[in-house]
């Protein structure tokens, strides 16, 4: 994908989007309705607990995925992200989770994969040509393989494999868990 000569990053994730959005909206609706309820019989600790549930739903269901950039792939997991240059990847497999093999070892992207049924339907290892109705996982795997091959022939210095913790998620989960615990103990 290009727009005015600039390559855009492509983000892929499987499952969880609809459930994550519906779950967060449901928690917000229940908490707003209970706050507006004149009887007010919901315990005070339920509000930070609901905030914890929303942050957890976002971190587990909405955040994970893979982002294909122009020179590297970003693996977005629940509590951290990792950037791997295509030239450092020796093998990629999109199974239940996506695994990237490098000289430093394997790296897993838990936010993108295929079901066993889709793997069987795509015919991994049985057919060398494109399946008649390929899954998104098969298409992304082929795109990754092309980018890895292109990177092997590119000139220039290959960057390092980087890792960054998802500090906003970690802080939000820790803070809401702590506030919930304090509210339960002090009730």
Mean pLDDT per block of 10 residues along the chain (187 residues) reads 65 87 94 85 89 95 94 95 96 94 94 89 65 86 93 86 97 97 91
CA distances from 140 to 14, 47, 50, 95, 136 (A): 12, 40, 36, 11, 6
Residues 70 and 13 in one domain: no
At 1 the pLDDT is: 45
Domain count, the chain: 2
Residue 175's domain spans which residues?
Answer: 2-63+167-186
Residues 72 and 136 in one domain: yes
Residues 171 and 161 in one domain: no
Residues 45 and 89 in one domain: no
Q: Where are the alpha helices (DSSP H) in the chain?
A: 17-36, 46-57, 116-122, 136-153, 167-186
Residues 46 and 122 in one domain: no
The closest of 65, 1, 57, 2 to 26, measured between CA atoms, is 57
At 124 the pLDDT is: 58
Cβ 48 vs Cβ 183: under 8 Å:
yes
Residues 174 and 160 in one domain: no
At 6 the pLDDT is: 59
At 128 the pLDDT is: 60
């Amino acid at each position: 994908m290009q727009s005015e000569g600039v390559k855009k990053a492509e983000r892929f994730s499987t499952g969880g989007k609809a459930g994550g959005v519906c779950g967060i909206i449901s928690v917000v609706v229940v908490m707003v309705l209970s706050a507006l309820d004149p009887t007010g019989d919901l315990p005070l600790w339920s509000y930070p607990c609901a905030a914890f549930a929303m942050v957890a739903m976002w971190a587990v269901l909405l955040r994970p995925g893979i982002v294909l950039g122009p020179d590297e792939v970003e693996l977005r997991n629940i509590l951290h992200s990792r950037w791997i240059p295509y030239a450092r990847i020796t093998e990629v497999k999109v199974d239940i989770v996506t695994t990237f093999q490098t000289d430093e070892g394997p790296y897993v992207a838990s936010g993108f994969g295929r079901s066993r049924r889709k793997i069987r339907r795509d015919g991994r290892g049985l057919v060398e040509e494109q399946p008649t109705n390929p899954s998104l996982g098969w298409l992304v795997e082929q795109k990754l393989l092309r980018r890895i091959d292109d990177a092997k022939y590119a000139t220039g210095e290959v960057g390092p494999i980087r890792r960054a913790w998802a500090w906003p998620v970690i802080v939000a989960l820790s803070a809401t868990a702590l506030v919930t615990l304090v509210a339960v103990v002090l009730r």
